[in-house]
Structure 1
């Protein structure tokens, strides 16, 4: 068993690099005046060869699997699901031998799209989950989520994004190379977050930047590079507080 651990770590690192290298995610959270609202999810994920099945299980691409995720909330009439679009796309893959011969150097500008050549097929998914109470967000949002609400005076949402532990100082050359490749691939992608609240509310956050749109609604935008899930020393904490204006 002792000899299998490096191999397992290597496989895990390669899986992260392959899936993360062609993964895009955008999350938009909107609150109405009564703190009901919706979450809109948009993501692009690679698919298994010849199957309409996501390589990242947490982000399904089949309608029935998306519905199954929120089944308990829908049954309690706590949320309503609206699937807006599911689109499959293909990326042409040249002859493998030709790719190996013509592959650009890792630090070359021409290498930017190399991660997309690892897979042939992708899916773009977009859907909304409408909620009546913000407490439902604990089951809707990815990651570890805790919601605290005090009537109509205070709402706090705490989220934790777990980071991957770095390699030990004595890691072998293969593991070190896989880890470096993973960081390079993840550096090209990020998770995008946006929060909007009704004009009767204001918000504060330890992440992102806030502003107001033309309708007077407060907006928060946060850009989380996927590379940070590898090199940050501690889990990434996000605290959002919403109070009456």
Structure 2
């Protein structure tokens, strides 16, 4: 049995304080509770929320995912690897590229009797809400708040695409946003399918198409504002007009 372990510097103390700084401890976390027992057989166990108190008495919140023999195959790993390994690499890559996203607190994988097991612990984004949550309240939001959310979402997607990455599963539920006195902030989640934008603009348009298709409550004018902010323009120019035409044309083709 061999394992590899990553523990974020800012999570080491609190995990060690509660005896949760090892693969085995997190794998067995809540095993006496049928709702949080570790997985057995193939598949991914439902996400478990963990609340831990640090040395100063402050709560720290995490989400724990455990995986047993659910593999993804690729050119990099033709024999397969845990999908959490892919997500962890994406989280680390996004952090290196400065793309706001999930924050990994702990990652580990091991092989037991031929089974690939993996654990991914991420910090809870409690001060953020998914874009779907904001959409449910869209009509009651102040005009400025709606604008701030649109601009924050556009900046997030722009940072992703400027790094020549595509989310590959970009829906409102995967964009987390918060509002505060300084405007809005945003982060991406669900990074398992993210990859390099091998097909350039075509991949980026695919991301934009997926997001706008599922943003029904947003008006055409607000979608235009999003695309202008995404391109960094104040008004339609040749390139931004072309982008708008491409995104809308691809969306229209899906309805046929």
TM-score per shorter chain, which class? under 0.3
Using the size of structure 1 for normalisation, the TM-score is 0.26
TM-score (norm 2): 0.25
Task: Choose between structure 1 and 2: higher helix proportion.
Answer: 2
Name whichever structure is richer in strand by fraction.
1
